[in-house]
Amino acid sequence: QKFVYDFTEGNRNLKDLLGGKGANLAEMTNLGLPVPPGFTITTEACKVYLDSGEEPPALRDEVSAHLDALEATMDKKLGQPNDPLLVSVRSGAKFSMPGMMDTVLNIGLSDDSVAGLAAQAGDERFAWDSYRRLIQMFGKTVLGVDGDLFEEALERAKHAKGVSVDVDLDAADLKALVGEFKALVSKETGRDFPQDPREQMDLAVCAVFDSWNTDRAKLYRRQERIPGDLGTAVNVCSMVFGNLGPDSGTGVAFTRDPASGHQGVYGDYLQNAQGEDVVAGIRNTVPLADLEGIDKPSYDELMRIMETLETHYKDLCDIEFTIERGKLWMLQTRVGKRTAGAAFRIATQLVDQGLIDEAEALQRVNGAQLAQLMFPRFDESAAAEKIGRGIAASPGAAVGKAVFDSYTAVKWSRSGEKVILIRRETNPDDLNGMIAAEGILTSRGGKTSHAAVVARGMGKTCVCGAEELEVDTKRRCLTAPDGTVVQEGDVVSIDGSSGKVYLGEVPVVPSPVVEYFEGRMHAGADDADELVKAVHRIMAYADRVRRLRVRANADNAEDAARARRFGAQGIGLCRTEHMFLGERREMVERLILADTDADRQTALHGLLPLQKADFTELFEAMDGLPVTVRLLDPPLHEFLPDITELSVRVALAEARQDANENDLRLLQAVHKLHEQNPMLGLRGVRLGLVIPGLFAMQVRAIAEAAAERKNAKGDPRAEIMIPLVGTVQELEIVREEAERVIAEVEQARGVNLKLTLGTMIELPRAALTAGQIAESADFFSFGTNDLTQTVWGFSRDDVEASFFTAYLEKGIFGVSPFETIDRDGVGALVRSAVEAGRATRPDLKLGVCGEHGGDPESVHFFHEVGLDYVSCSPFRIPVARLEAGRAAA
Ligand code: PEP
Ligand code: MG
């Protein structure tokens, strides 16, 4: 096994082995770009080290061989006193983990070689400053000395000299500081700072390995869903210096604008500085374009290199570079991060440039980015006073009055105020306040904090972990770093897509992408937004290649019409219970309270025309496309008054001796229907089987609506769906009755309705006996909400707000299984039910209508297992179309 690769030996496809940085350094080296020579120690070596606590035995010799070669190339030896070779030792994992792991620069400097460096550089101060930095970095990251101790010593040195910045310390000051730092290391660690350059290097390599497992690195990986066993590679690279005078410097650049995607010169440059100085923001950088005036040859070369990189990677790249005395060096490149809008624009620009094809363009964007582009946003042209920034936890733009507790949030929102709930952090007690608020702002906690998880679940705007904002819930105010105080009732605006927090109301504008999907903006128009044009093209690619059809979950004509505008190819789930709410609730109540057949029939008769009208509208809106109507699903108590409220009302009335007969009957019924576990109780097909006439009424309404549309020359394509089936026998009974009703209507109206009858697969037993159930079903629609609930034994209404935060933090899962399908558990059941169902009935139509139908990752899974369609809420349809295209491309 080979543990060390020279930069000339690797390439960009070896990220698993060489990490992202190492693989790209190798790629650039082989492109002939000026990369300082060096080598990469593999992630495999790291894994052996982490497993066994020791470096692999062969590693030392391999490193020696590569170091010899490097020394030969550079014509100097590591730490050689008169002209030392210095190296950097940098971490570099497969996935970038910014700032999470260690780096040590200037390895090779010692009491002996510092003078050699000074002589070679012709700069005494520079050499002592480099040595000072080495001891500081090495002491902190390799030897574990508290970094503050070095900083304090540095501060003391400046104070003693009466200066405020490092650059005002001269060589003698820095030399003295080196002495102090060395003493500090000895005192804190009981050992001297190692003078042997090779020992420095080996210790630094092990420190980088160890940094893979620091607490913060582990936490970061869990949050970003990076596997914990990948390990990091280590890059040993000869040092080049950007701090050797005004003809040196360091910078970062993008091959095109990561915000707009436009080609041009984007980046920052800092003269006479090293990389850390840019990150630390010690001095102000200048725009990259200014480099042309500072050092034209280097600038021209950089522009050429950037073009080479873009053409080679066929994508936006970001770059770190250093200029050492007029010589340009490339220190890093990678395919750069970009905003959601830029991702779409860049993908189409690259197609136009002939660099990538349409299938590749689809891989360059994703549904999460599209979803982000569909949120309303703050009008960036409006003047707004930004008071702070936190983590963009749940996208959207929310404006409201600041409130600092849940009770006030609920109270104010009831009286019609829009509120932003501001807390240090939230917990389950804040739930009502979160529901009432337009958005949530917290000063603590990350992307998996309670506030973030719950807000995302609700689709509510959230900024969390805005540490710089001081929240005082007792005094009901928030203090910004600039001293601005926001009191309860002051208006604030929060941007869940950028994490920015503003004082006052920032105007909100609708997303141009939604305007486009709504048909209010045309991609073909000359002045059409560039982003809209790009989205239009990408959606066309996706629609061309996708195999999955996309339907909508919708139960009224308005939603159906919007869904159709957004590209829905039918309705996959019409939840008829939504048609029983509002003023119709009393009619349902009458049905539930009916003692006699006659009473029940009267109640059902009352509901029939209303249901029929609902369906007629829906079939009209979806004319020519399938509409799956699901018969009543939820437990009946949902249509009755709350048991506690009603009990109190009756008790009070009884005390006054004027209890009314109806209330008493109602209370009796509520008691009778009360269930400890309504989700596992009398609902779905079970209702249809025990309430005579209920399903028959619904089927009749569907059939009559369809018949009417047919007679009006429409093209209704109704599909009747039975929920919560666990066994084929249930379905057989319902089917018999439904077929009888349909035949009656067909005969009476003289039409052939071609209605199909299918079932939801949302219980484990249904999935396990799918082969039998398919005997009686024309189609299956997977109800992955209930299936997830019953497979995991997680109450879908409770767990996300209760213990999911803890589960996410512990890394038990990276994302809620209610959000993204659990492939191994729930997914395995879906897969086997698909196979069993099709084995019984090869033409069985298969879809999914749980929330997962609109989740990007889940859409790929449904594509893989061979479903015919996914169904999701209207706003998710473009996302599902895009992801279905990406899955097929
Ligand atoms: C489901 O369970 O996945 C489903 C779509 O039905 P509902 O959410 O209405 O229970
Ligand atoms: Mg369900």
Query: Which secondary structure element, helix H or strand E, spans residue 317, and what is its range?
Result: strand 317-324
Distance CA 885, CA 567 (A): 13
Decide: 783 in ligand 1 pocket, CB within 6 A: yes
Decide: 785 in ligand 1 pocket, CB within 6 A: yes
Instruction: Give the closest residue to 242 by CA, choosing from 415, 342, 106, 62.
Output: 106
Ligand 1 test: best mutation among 551, 555, 571, 573, most atoms within 8 Å of CB?
A: 573
How many other C-beta atoms can be found within 10 angstroms of the C-beta atom of residue 809? 17
- 419-423 and 397-403 strand pairing: parallel
Secondary structure class of 270 (helix, strand, coil): strand
198 labeled part of a ligand binding site: no
Nearest CA to ligand 1 atom 9: 575
Residues with active-site annotation: 450, 849
Instruction: Give the closest residue to 826 by CA, choosing from 782, 869, 856, 857.
Output: 782
Percentages (nearest 5) of helix, strand, coil residues in the chain: 50, 15, 30
Instruction: Give the closest residue to 746 by CA, choosing from 780, 716, 778.
Output: 716
Backbone angles phi, psi at 133, to 5 degrees: -65, -40
Residue extents of the structural domains in the chain = 4-238, 249-335, 375-509, 546-635+675-888
Nearest CA to ligand 1 atom 8: 785
Distance CA 281, CA 95 (A): 25
Contact assessment for residue 726 and residue 766, using Cβ atoms and an 8 Å cutoff: yes
Distance CA 753, CA 175 (A): 93
How many other C-beta atoms can be found within 10 angstroms of the C-beta atom of residue 621? 20
Contact assessment for residue 510 and residue 422, using Cβ atoms and an 8 Å cutoff: no
Distance CA 319, CA 331 (A): 8
Ligand nearest to the CA of 797: 1
Decide: 573 in ligand 1 pocket, CB within 6 A: yes
The alpha carbon of residue 77 and the mean position of all alpha carbons in its chain are separated, in whole angstroms, by 47
Contact assessment for residue 642 and residue 693, using Cβ atoms and an 8 Å cutoff: no
308 labeled part of a ligand binding site: no
Decide: 308 in ligand 1 pocket, CB within 6 A: no
Ligand 1 test: best mutation among 760, 787, 788, 830, most atoms within 8 Å of CB?
A: 760
Decide: 575 in ligand 1 pocket, CB within 6 A: yes
Give first-to-last CA distance, the chain, whole Å. 37
Decide: 762 in ligand 1 pocket, CB within 6 A: yes
The predicted structure's pLDDT at residue 267 = 87
Instruction: Give the closest residue to 134 by CA, choosing from 56, 200, 36.
Output: 200
HEC secondary structure over 128-181: HHHHHHHHHHHHHHHCCCCHHHHHHHHHHHHHHHCCCCHHHCCHHHHHHHHHHH
Decide: 855 in ligand 1 pocket, CB within 6 A: no
Nearest CA to ligand 1 atom 10: 786
Residue type, 105: L
- Burial (CB < 10 A; 0-12, 13-18, 19+), residue 659, is middle
Half-sphere exposure of 143 (CA within 13 A, CB side): 26
The predicted structure's pLDDT at residue 10 = 95
345 labeled part of a ligand binding site: no
Contact assessment for residue 130 and residue 120, using Cβ atoms and an 8 Å cutoff: no
Angle of the 124-137 helix axis to the 113-121 helix axis, nearest 10: 140
- Tell me how far the alpha carbon of residue 724 lies from the centroid of ligand 2, in angstroms: 7
The predicted structure's pLDDT at residue 284 = 72
Distance CA 829, CA 770 (A): 10
Six token digits for residue 104: 């040590």
Domain spanning 249-335, CATH architecture: 2-Layer Sandwich (3.30)
CA-CA distances (angstroms) from residue 540 to 512, 514, 543, 679, 886?
A: 17, 16, 5, 41, 12
Nearest CA to ligand 1 atom 4: 783
Nearest atom of ligand 1 to the alpha carbon of 762? 2
Give every CB contact of residue 540 below 8 A, 6+ residues apart in sequence: none
Ligand 1 test: best mutation among 555, 577, 633, most atoms within 8 Å of CB?
A: 633
- Tell me how far the alpha carbon of residue 404 lies from the centroid of ligand 2, in angstroms: 36
Half-sphere exposure of 458 (CA within 13 A, CB side): 22
- Topology of domain 4-238, CATH: Dna Ligase; domain 1 (3.30.1490)
The predicted structure's pLDDT at residue 273 = 86
- Topology of domain 375-509, CATH: Glucose Oxidase; domain 1 (3.50.30)
The predicted structure's pLDDT at residue 76 = 93
How many other C-beta atoms can be found within 10 angstroms of the C-beta atom of residue 816? 18
- Tell me how far the alpha carbon of residue 819 lies from the centroid of ligand 2, in angstroms: 15
Do 4-238 and 546-635+675-888 agree at the fold level?
no
Distance CA 738, CA 744 (A): 10
Q: What letter would DSSP give residue 774?
A: G
Nearest CA to ligand 1 atom 3: 783
Decide: 252 in ligand 1 pocket, CB within 6 A: no
Instruction: Give the closest residue to 323 by CA, choosing from 284, 280, 270, 367.
Output: 270
Nearest CA to ligand 1 atom 1: 783
Six token digits for residue 434: 């979160």
Interface predicted TM-score (ipTM) over 0.90? yes
HEC secondary structure over 609-628: HHHHHHHHHHHHHCCCCEEE
Nearest atom of ligand 1 to the alpha carbon of 851? 3
- Tell me how far the alpha carbon of residue 791 lies from the centroid of ligand 1, in angstroms: 14
Give every CB contact of residue 814 below 8 A, 6+ residues apart in sequence: 222, 225, 808
- Tell me how far the alpha carbon of residue 680 lies from the centroid of ligand 2, in angstroms: 11
Alpha helices in 37-90 (DSSP H): 43-52, 59-74
E strand map for 710-765: 717-722, 756-761
CA-CA distances (angstroms) from residue 671 to 589, 641, 649?
A: 14, 11, 14
Q: Give the global pTM.
A: 0.84
243 labeled part of a ligand binding site: no
Q: Which CATH superfamily includes the segment(s) 546-635+675-888?
A: Phosphoenolpyruvate-binding domains (3.20.20.60)
Q: Which string of DSSP letters, residue by residue, matches 634-692? A: S-GGGGS--HHHHHHHHHHHHHTT---HHHHHHHHHHHHH--S-GGGSS-THHHHHHST
Block means of pLDDT (10 residues each) for the chain, 889 residues, are 96 96 97 97 96 93 96 94 95 82 91 95 93 95 93 92 86 96 96 96 95 84 78 96 92 87 87 73 78 96 96 94 96 89 94 96 95 88 88 89 95 94 87 91 81 76 92 94 95 93 92 92 81 96 98 93 96 92 83 89 93 96 98 89 88 88 87 89 95 96 97 97 98 98 97 97 98 98 97 89 79 86 97 98 97 96 98 95 97
Whose structure tokens read 């558990």?
825
